Amino acid sequence: MKTSSPGKILLGLVFILGFSLNGNAQFFKKLAKKAERAAERTVERRVETETSKKTDQALDSILEPGSGGKRQSPPSPGTTGGQGGSNGNTGGNPDTGSTTDAGGPKTIQVYSKFDFVPGDKQLFFDDFSNDFIGDFPSKWNTNAGGELVTLGDSSQKWLELKSGFNIYYIPDVPQLPEEYTIEFDLAAVGLDAKTSSTSKVAITLSDDDKFNPGANNAYAEIPFCQYAAIGVTVQNNINGRREIRSTVKADLRDEVLETPHISIAVNKLRFRLWVNEVKYIDVPRLVAPGAVIHTVKFLANGFRDGTEKVFISNLKVAEGGVDLRRKLISEGKISTNAILFDSGSANLQPQSMGVIRQISQVMLQESSINLKIVGHTDADGSDETNMQLSKDRAAAVKNALVGIYNIDASRLSVDGKGESVPVSDNNSPAGKAQNRRVEFIRQ
């Protein structure tokens, strides 16, 4: 029996409605996943004046190589904590921002190869938590426009980077020192097989404090193209003349779909860039000699209007990030705030592995070196508690060096000083963060 015309129309409408609902469900499912991962990144980098919340202790796998322990997502997108606060002495443990990627839970083996060392003196941080949805963020400037949005059901706020030629987004970062690090998260929606090879997000370090590239700049492009593998491009200008432009082969098509975390380290002239845990750029003389970098600028280009959108959040700029290997060999002693722990415990956080890896490299290269590892805390809590905590944290670092990097345990000793040797004021969050540190002393 043939279906009547009204019947055909009805069947067609049902089919279209089902397809549309399924498409929307998939779209929002992807947004929710992006938002979840973004929230996890946020918890890692919250400023330390915010409130701490409980988390699981899954980072114990750091001290048990090969355990493959799963790390759970934060209890809610709005969880607060902090890179500084998560290294505190007392109180409930904040969420550590541990991540579970689309490819499965990360193991410590991944982090053990991550050689990025974040700066330990914070110069700028913004996750837009103090701004309102729909507003342009108060600590940024632009020559175009923009507003803060949320993705999916998460409360995490994102700034959309409008795509266009010479449209800049400039955070209120102070004049930068010779050595510093930059970290931020990106998210994109609407990408498909037609996403152009020109679609990119560019990061420029410039001596110009307004909306021009600057006579002296260093520049990197993160590609978002989906139909082909477009590498990571890096270039510079020195006194208005381009000296370097090259594209490093890389396939980031999957990474840019999954809220990538970008890390940049500048050590005088040297420029390095990581996407998630993989280093793609390492140019020894990219930054112009003697240049004063006034601004960090973000630019999006090549995205289709109304279809493809790209966002940024969790921008952190910090002084430091120096190569600790040379300093340890030449001076025989280093002190670092970049080894982080859960609050009130000796559980290492995964972003600490960059520093610990550098220490292991020194010991593998210089077989005659023995090290004493000394832990320090801030003044929160009792003297007795802090003394034991500092010793436990030093022991945790030793265990990581032995268990993950196969350093002979007999070459390492540990001690703790608690709160007894402060290097800064314990009456401010910034001062407390400086006092929470680990020292390595050549023996």
CATH classification at residue 329: 3.30.1330.60
Using pLDDT thresholds of 50, 70 and 90, give the confidence band for residue 105: very low
What is the average pLDDT score of the chain? 80
127/173 same-domain check: yes
Poorest-pLDDT segment among 9-18, 376-385, 388-397:
9-18
Q: What would the pLDDT profile of 210-228 be if each residue is shown by its tens digit?
A: 999 999 999 999 999 999 9
109/123 same-domain check: no
- Supply the pLDDT for residue 5: 55
Poorest-pLDDT segment among 58-62, 116-120, 260-264, 344-348:
58-62
- Supply the pLDDT for residue 115: 77
The tokens describing 249, both together, are 């082969």
Strands 104-105 and 157-160: unpaired
Domain presence at residue 18: no
Rounded to whole angstroms, how far apart are CA atoms 55 and 315?
A: 23
79/225 same-domain check: no
DSSP state of 158: E
- Supply the pLDDT for residue 32: 54
φ/ψ region of 91 (left if φ > 0, alpha if ψ in -120 to 50, else beta) reads: left
350/429 same-domain check: yes
Expressed as residue numbers, the domain containing 200 is 118-320
- Supply the pLDDT for residue 73: 31
Contacts of 273 (CB under 8 A, 6+ apart): 220, 232, 234, 262, 263, 264, 279, 280, 281
281/352 same-domain check: no
Number of domains in the chain: 2
Q: What would the pLDDT profile of 311-333 be if each residue is shown by its tens digit?
A: 999 998 989 877 788 888 889 99
93/174 same-domain check: no
Contacts of 376 (CB under 8 A, 6+ apart): 390, 416, 417, 418, 419, 421, 422, 435, 436, 437, 438, 439
386/441 same-domain check: yes
Around Cβ 21, how many Cβ atoms within 10 Å?
10
- Supply the pLDDT for residue 49: 34
356/213 same-domain check: no
- pLDDT at residue 337 is higher than 80: yes
The tokens describing 20, both together, are 């549309």
Rounded to whole angstroms, how far apart are CA atoms 119 and 331?
A: 20
147/260 same-domain check: yes
**Domain termination site, one of 266, 288, 320:** 320
388/416 same-domain check: yes
**What's the per-residue H, E or C state across 364-390?**
HHCCCCCEEEEEECCCCCCHHHHHHHH
- Specify the 3-state DSSP secondary structure of 144: coil
- Supply the pLDDT for residue 29: 53
Whichever domain contains 216, its CATH number is: 2.60.120.560
Average pLDDT over residues 119-148: 91
Which helix (H) or strand (E) segment holds residue 170: the answer is strand 169-171
180/314 same-domain check: yes
Q: What would the pLDDT profile of 249-267 be if each residue is shown by its tens digit?
A: 999 999 999 999 999 999 9
pTM for the model stands at 0.65
Rounded to whole angstroms, how far apart are CA atoms 362 and 173?
A: 33
- pLDDT at residue 443 is higher than 60: yes
